[in-house]
Amino acid sequence: MTELLDESGGISRFTQPGDRVLVKPNMLEGVDKGKAVTTQRLVVL
């Protein structure tokens, strides 16, 4: 995770000290997008 975030400017680019962060991996399979196998973004917001 650190390496991935470093490529985007580091975790501090997205958070402030004291923030709580949820890291939720999407474990997908190769199916049609109409099957909605990804997390609905409103669930995370």
Query: What is the DSSP secondary structure assignment for residue 13, as one 8-state letter?
Result: G
Q: Where are the domains of the chain?
A: 2-44
Cα of 27 vs its chain's centroid, Å: 11
pLDDT the model gives residue 31: 76
Q: What is the pLDDT of residues 1-45, one digit of tens each?
A: 788 889 889 889 989 999 998 877 766 677 777 776 766 667 666
CA distance 45 to 33: 21
Element (DSSP H or E) covering residue 7: helix 2-7
